[in-house]
Structure 1
Amino acid sequence: MRFRLVATALLTAVAVAACSPGTDNGTDSGTQGANEDVPLPGQQWALRDDRVTAGEYRTAITRFLACIQDSGYRTGDPVISPIDGLSLLYDITPSGDPTTYNDRVQRCNLSHLSMIEPTYVESHRKVMTQPLRRAVGECLEDRGVKVSGTEHNATDFATTARDEPVVVECVTETRQQLYPDLPDFAVVRI
């Protein structure tokens, strides 16, 4: 249980960091300006044209998961998130020392995925699955939020609700109820 909490906390931190602009490109700070947004060396192949295709994203996920596996941890096969129809969800089975585990996952993330994933997901239209949209709408209505029925993703629901935390709660709760066999961790991008 402790590993699941550590893993969830780490993946949450990674997701938040992944959505932040990167400034550390792995080079000597004397050669790059501190505020430049330069891709990390292991991710430049996908980010050199400032956009990420579905194929590039899948390749980055494959490389990330291979890095995790090479570090001695088991991973699940990636599946499309019902939350946005874009993100790939996967499980990582932690073992051994939690600090070592966290360090290795972070190293793999920074080497292969941290900037590629948000670039891909944020540049494409996110569409929640119909069953999840309906359940999120009902959850919000139960909490006193009037939904229009035209919402297609978490961003639309947040705009309607004017309350991001309640939307994240409803999306997280209903996703776990409707899709219990999917990996536990999933980012809700608003």
Structure 2
Amino acid sequence: MGKATIVVAAVLLATVSGCAQAGSDGGREAGDDIPIPGQEWALKDGRVTSAEYGTAMGRFVSCIRDAGYPVSEPVLSPADNLTLIYEVAPSGAPETYNNAVQSCNLSHLSMVEPTFVEAQPQVMDEPLRRAVGDCLRRQGVAVTAEERNLREFARSAKDETRVVDCVTAQWPRVYPALPAEVPLRF
């Protein structure tokens, strides 16, 4: 498995696992629906608008930059045309970097992003749809050519892992200038 596949798989696992505040013992708290204080402003009405998501992403990026790590300007992900993707340049001690990113994520984005993205129709860009469909066909999967998002590809393939593998394999070829790490939500 390549580095990009591992990163995307890890992001995918975190995305499909859901987000909740950790309790003092590291487990989920009983009130999983209680927003994290730094995100409550966007979550208080139970939905997140595009403008609120953009504001939360801006705060997240500023937080990462304030912690001393360069971050690219977020761009729309062709995987769903909803998620804003970016690159962070890690440096220094891995634990320090990971703690900074995690702190910024929990403070600004971890619940806002999935609340926004999962409430919207996801539509993959055509070049990536074609590439993923071709990749799955080469593996013997009968795709319909009607698939428009990850969930529909997974339904056709009867396997989310195959779809993740095809997206991660095709992504750098189809979008070489975009960030290599992209969250995938089914």
TM-score normalised by length of structure 1 = 0.86
Q: In the alignment, which residue of structure 2 is the partner of 1:34?
A: 30
Q: In the alignment, which of 127, 132, 146 is matched to residue 150 of structure 1?
A: 146
Q: In the alignment, which residue of structure 1 is the partner of 2:46?
A: 50
How far apart in 1 are the matches of 2:183 and 2:9?
Answer: 8
Task: Kindly provide the amino acid, as one letter, of the partner of residue 99 in structure 1.
Answer: E
Displacement of 1:7 after TM fit?
11
Distance 1:177 1:72, change over 3 A: same
Written as runs of structure 1 = structure 2, the 5 A alignment for 1:1-190 is 16-17=13-14, 19-24=16-21, 34-190=30-186
How far apart in 1 are the matches of 2:5 and 2:61?
Answer: 16
Q: Name the structure, 1 or 2, with higher relative contact order (CA <8 Å, separation 6+).
A: 2
For 1:96, what is the secondary structure of its paired residue?
Answer: coil
Task: Kindly provide the amino acid, as one letter, of the partner of residue 122 in structure 1.
Answer: E
Residues 117-170 of structure 1: CA deviation (Å, up to 9, x unaligned): 111110000000011111111000000001101100011000111011001111
* 8 Å contact from structure 2 (residues 132, 167) kept in 1: yes
How far apart in 1 are the matches of 2:161 and 2:9?
Answer: 15
How far apart in 2 are the matches of 1:6 and 1:62?
Answer: 27
How far apart in 1 are the matches of 2:108 and 2:4?
Answer: 18
For 2:80, what is the secondary structure of its paired residue?
Answer: coil
How far apart in 2 are the matches of 1:145 and 1:164?
Answer: 12
How far apart in 2 are the matches of 1:51 and 1:186?
Answer: 23
Distance 1:41 1:20, change over 3 A: farther
Distance 1:166 1:20, change over 3 A: closer
Percent sequence identity over aligned pairs: 51
Deviates more, 1:143-152 or 1:172-181: 172-181
TM-score normalised by length of structure 2 = 0.88
Residues 15-70 of structure 1: CA deviation (Å, up to 9, x unaligned): 644554444389x9xxxx72441000000000001111111111111000000000
Task: Kindly provide the amino acid, as one letter, of the partner of residue 146 in structure 1.
Answer: A
Distance 1:14 1:155, change over 3 A: closer
Gaps of 5+ in 1: none
Gaps of 5+ in 2: none
| Alignment: residue pair count | 182
